[in-house]
Amino acid sequence: MSPLDDPAREAAASAEPGFRAMLAARPHLALTEDGLAVEAVPLARIAAAHGTPTWVYSAAAITHRYRALADALGEAGLEARIHYAMKANDAEAIVTLLARQGAGADVVSEGERRIARHAGIAARDIVFSGVGKSEGELRSALADQVGQINVESAEELGMLSGIASAMGVKARIALRINPDVDAGTHAKITTGLAENKFGIPSADAIALYTHAASLPGIVPVGLAMHIGSQVTSLAPYRAAYGLLAALAGEVRAAGLPITLLDCGGGLGIPYRGEEVPSPAAFAAVLKETLGGLGLKIVIEPGRWIVGPAGILLARVVLQKQGEARRFVILDAAMNDLIRPSLYGAWHGILPITPARWRAALSPADVVGPVCESGDTFATGRALPDLGHGEIVALLDAGAYGSVMSSTYNARPLAAAVMVSGTVDAVIRDRQSFEAMRAGERLPPWLGPLLPPPAGPLAVPVPRR
Ligand SMILES: Cc1ncc(COP(=O)(O)O)c(C=O)c1O
């Protein structure tokens, strides 16, 4: 059976948003005479200047989305701070852009903390989260005087108190509570169920908070929660924050100090045109559940701010007609953008050439060149004929894209470019072969490493 005769695959293709619907939902993209553009920079220009695969980020989209969230919190009358979850995208340019907007940072490693500080975020505006912070990471965070450390277990609390006491300092902590609420998202990014490794059971919260207040190296300042990522309904937030409010009341009733509630991140984005909560609706839930407590609110969004602001630009290596399927093979792969392989995530794929938007569509599997069948960006996607050298944009790749890249199959990390209006700038060089292999050694018994082969490894192809 030809793929075009397969009703299931055709139905899957037709349930997807069309090119124009995808474009209309993404204000930072435009279809110009020169083809698809990010803000006012045609993607063909970026591909020609910098090659592919390349991450492209819209500065305006990042700023606009940050402001939309901040304004919604302000309009709801909340005393709230946004700590950008750097795990979503830790590019120095992106963190700096957000720092200039007034964002704090939610970090989960020594590396992220250092990037945040380098980008100009004050230590007091940093929340250090994570279920397994090492002693060294805790020590250096305390030495830097970070504003808040989110503690995820009784064991970590004891360890932190010991380290802080030995250093003669006090750690300002929030206890991360696991609310046992189903965020209704993918199992791999659900974090608020009892079976997940994150947080402290709510039944233990008050006893542990009381204990924390008695420890020499600890100053408890609040409670924290993060129920998961790509959350597309408000109901789990309402349930989790209701519990947070109740616990805050119990902390107060026990005569313990509390000044803030850290509500985590997780707000979802419409990858496939699905309904997602607006910032105003999310702020209304915060207001309704926590607004009357007189406590500061912290949120830690990552994906919502940067996800839609980035694309992955890739070139078609070739189109191959398999026995039952048409394959469009890109020069980007699962080592660049792993979300489809890891979570079955759906990303919009747009050809950047206007003529291709008018061409007939038929189902195609869009894949990368890595030697795994899981190296698949899309299955049965309605796309035009896409020949060698044509360029496509994989949409909504700004979050959990480049940060999750690897060099699997000895593929160097892709370049990254930021666009602002009519200008673009490289914000990360394409990794060289030498940089990718830096640090490789032979054990002494195998003798010295041979010098690298002279000259380029492949005959360069002229850029179009
Ligand atoms: C503790 C914590 N805060 C914030 C986030 C950011 O989530 P998102 O990017 O979905 O907003 C995460 C991500 O999983 C997280 O683990």
Q: Is the CB of 69 under 6 A from ligand 1?
A: no
* Type of residue at 225: M
Please give the CATH number for the structural domain made up of 59-306: 3.20.20.10
In the prediction, which pLDDT does 51 show?
98
> Is 53 a pocket residue for ligand 1 (Cβ < 6 Å)?
no
Q: Which among 394, 370, 213 is positioned nearest to 314, based on CA atoms?
A: 394
Which residues are CB-neighbours of 188 under 8 A, at least 6 positions away?
342, 343
Known catalytic residues are: 371
pTM of the model: 0.93
**pLDDT in the model for residue 462:** 53
Ligand 1 site-directed mutation target among 62, 84, 87, most atoms within 8 Å of CB: 87
301 pocket-lining for ligand 1 (C-beta < 6 Å):
yes
**What's phi and psi for 234, nearest 5 deg?**
-85, -15
CA 385, 389, 395: angle at the middle one, nearest 5? 70
Query: Measured in angstroms, how far is the CA atom of residue 398 from the centroid of ligand 1?
Result: 14
CATH topology of domain 3-58+307-433: Lyase, Ornithine Decarboxylase; Chain A, domain 1 (2.40.37)
229 close to ligand 1 (CB < 6 Angstrom): yes
Measured from the Cα of 224, ligand 1's closest atom is 1
Q: How far is CA 116 from CA 122, 137, 233, 263, 269, in A?
A: 8, 14, 30, 20, 24
Query: For a pocket test of ligand 1, which of 196, 229, 299, 303 has the largest count of ligand atoms closer than 8 A to its C-beta?
Result: 229
Between the CA of 289 and the centroid of ligand 1 the distance, in Å, is: 20
CA distance 297 to 70: 12
Which regions of the chain carry the CATH code 2.40.37.10? 3-58+307-433
Whose CA is closest to atom 14 on ligand 1? 229
Q: Tell me, what's the pLDDT at 195?
A: 75
The pLDDT of residue 313 is 98
Instruction: Find out whether the beta carbon of 178 lies less than 6 Å from any atom of ligand 1.
Output: no
The residue whose CB lies within 8 Å of the most ligand 1 atoms, and thus the one to mutate among 69, 81, 106, is 106
Atom of ligand 1 nearest to the CA of 266: 10
- 32 Cβ partners below 8 Å, 6+ apart? 40, 42
pLDDT average per 10 residues of sequence, the chain (464 residues): 38 74 97 96 98 98 98 97 98 98 98 98 97 96 98 96 98 94 79 80 95 97 96 96 97 97 98 97 98 97 98 98 95 98 97 95 98 95 97 98 98 98 98 96 84 64 52
Q: CA–CA separation, 121 vs 428, rounded Å?
A: 20
462, two tokens: 């002229």
| Tally: H helices and E strands in the chain | 15, 21
- Give the model's pLDDT for residue 412: 98
Distance from Cα 303 to the centre of ligand 1, integer Å: 8
